Amino acid sequence: TNSRGICASSTGAAAVAVTSVGGTNGIQSASDGIFARSSAGSVTVDSTGDITSSNSYGIFAQNFGSATVAVSSDGAIVSNFAGIHAHSSFGNVTVDASGSITATSANSYARGITARSFGGGTSTVTSDADITARLQGIYATSISGGITVSNTGDVTSQISKAISLNGGGAGPPLVTSVG
């Protein structure tokens, strides 16, 4: 189809929560597999099924305010853009991934996992997923909050760093990687 697999959105302060257990074929979409956005409320995505997105993100979770964005994914993700993109303007961002992630198209968004807090929030990624990406396998950024990445999966990038951290005004970023 040309639409999102799952779309949940709030233009106000309401929280957005998506729980997806997939099915026999998981989520297959030409656009975002799962799209979850709130202007000011928290955003939570818990996905245990496989996701295929031929033209966009596997999971896209975003908050424009100071609320938390949390994504947990246990299924395999194949996407044109980032497998998981989690973003909060000023709040904490947490990503926990254990399914494989493949994002290898020739565009400027093809990362395995992106975790971004543009304000004082923290960015935390915990992954035992095997990740293959055109750009960074794991990209975590926070302008003035802390950054923590804990990885035990195999992470590869075709043209960039496997794991890349940016910012971290609250002290040095912490990376633990044994994959």
Q: Which of 101, 113, 111 has the alpha carbon at shortest distance from 159?
A: 111
DSSP-derived pairing of the beta strands 101-103 and 16-20: unpaired
- What pLDDT does 168 receive? 60
Outline where DSSP puts E strands in 11-162: 16-20, 27-29, 34-38, 43-47, 51-53, 59-63, 69-73, 77-79, 84-88, 93-97, 101-103, 113-117, 123-127, 131-133, 138-142, 147-151, 155-157
How high is the mean pLDDT of the chain?
Answer: 91
Mean pLDDT of 17-29: 87
Distance separating alpha carbons of residues 38 and 9, to the nearest angstrom: 6
Residue 107 has pLDDT above 80, yes or no: yes
Of the chain, the percentage scoring pLDDT greater than 90 comes to 78
CA 164 from chain centre, in angstroms, equals 14
Query: Contact at 8 Å (CB) between 163 and 177?
Result: yes
DSSP state of 109: T
Mean pLDDT of 143-157: 93
Work out the burial of residue 46: count CB atoms within 10 Å of its CB; fewer than 13 is exposed, 13-18 middle, 19 or more buried.
middle
Q: Which of 71, 57, 18, 62 has the alpha carbon at shortest distance from 40?
A: 62
